[in-house]
Amino acid sequence: MNFGKSLRGTVLACALLVWPATMTLAQSGQGERYQPRSERGRLAAELVRRWAGHVQQVYGTAPQRWAQSMAPTFARAPLANLRHAAQMTDYTAMMAAASEPYAHRSAPGAAKAPSPTPAAAVPSERLLYTMLAPCRLADTRTVAQRMSAGEARSFNLQSLTSQGGSQFGCNIPSDASAVTLNITVVNPDIAGYLTVFPTGATRPLASSLNYRTGDVVGNEIIARLGGDPFPTFSVYSYAGADLVIDVAGYFSAAKGEPLDCQQVSSNYINVAAGAVVSAVSPVCPAGYTATGGGCSSNVYPSIEELYFFSFGPQASGSYACQARNRGSNNNVTIRAEAMCCRLPGR
């Protein structure tokens, strides 16, 4: 696909459908005459018509600005994803469907999610982890506030609509010490990296996520929180890019006796170059409940082009990971891990 031509066409389709912001399609001669010629243009136009008003009402973003910020996503997304997005009746679900890096498939299996890094270390304090259904904390496309090159921006966990997050909140308590985040970079200007760190702390000389020009790529990380009076975290981006941030759980101070926990893991499974492989952890021992999990590998995913495009807990109590090896290294392995906990003495 010629991305430049597709992007120009999508921008035109989006812009004409919302210009000017106060004019209806019936009143606009340009909007009335313009009809997208491609299926991609028609789908993009449908999504803009349906959701521009919602974005303006909830997030205060002018329809034209939102349409322009979404144009790269609509231009790059597989058509199957745009068709799937057009069927969604919820804004967050629509954005998730349109932003998937691989074509949507209706086959059964674990829901797609941004790729995780190797299992991150839990903060050293005695903390209790609470899993959440993935909840949108921020989406710079929704509020048309793309990250600038070299910018470090703070994101809070309480007032989310100002940063493109869920209008209903994500139920993160004010005493949370750390959060599990799925961070996706969309359409960066050049190759670079992100660093996530506690607000108010010195930015570490480390990368949380590497990306390439025009990429749509994500990682799962555990981020410590800083800030006052409400917990926040900061994200530094080397290049200009849009960010989509979901929260999947949080750590808070344990109240009372700590849980008795143990980790169960699958064997390491080889992922040959170009292959897609699944790893599934054992179920928890009797009396234990799965409280979390993760995916690990013998290589650094961003360097070796290993992409975890599906992961999460299963109804059976196990934890499953699905990865694609986009590189040429045949000596790549993955493993699925589940964290199993119980109240002591029970």
- pLDDT for position 61: 83
Q: Is 205 exposed, middle or buried (0-12, 13-18, 19+ CB in 10 A)?
A: exposed
Residues 6+ apart with CB under 8 A from 236: 150, 151, 152, 194, 195, 196, 197, 203
- pLDDT for position 245: 94
3-class state of residue 145 by DSSP: coil
Ordered per-residue pLDDT tens for the chain, 346 residues: 454 444 445 445 454 444 443 334 344 444 445 566 788 888 888 888 888 888 888 888 888 888 888 888 888 778 888 888 888 888 877 887 777 655 544 444 433 333 333 333 444 556 788 888 889 999 999 888 899 999 999 999 988 999 999 989 898 988 888 999 999 999 999 999 999 999 989 998 888 888 989 888 888 888 999 866 677 999 999 999 999 999 999 998 766 667 789 999 999 999 999 999 999 999 999 989 888 888 989 988 767 788 888 888 888 889 999 999 988 999 999 999 999 998 775 5
Q: State the Cα–Cα distance between residues 161 and 55, nearest whole angstrom.
A: 10
| CA angle (71 as vertex; 154, 149 as ends), nearest 5 | 35
- pLDDT for position 45: 86
- Is the distance from CB of 317 to CB of 286 less than 8 angstroms? no
307: tokens are: 């992409």
Closest CA to 56 of 44, 43, 69, 75: 69
- pLDDT for position 14: 55
Question: In 3-state terms, the chain is what percent helix, strand and coil (to 5)?
Answer: 25, 35, 45
77: tokens are: 């997304």
- pLDDT for position 315: 82
pTM greater than 0.75: no
Beta-bridge mates of residue 262: 340
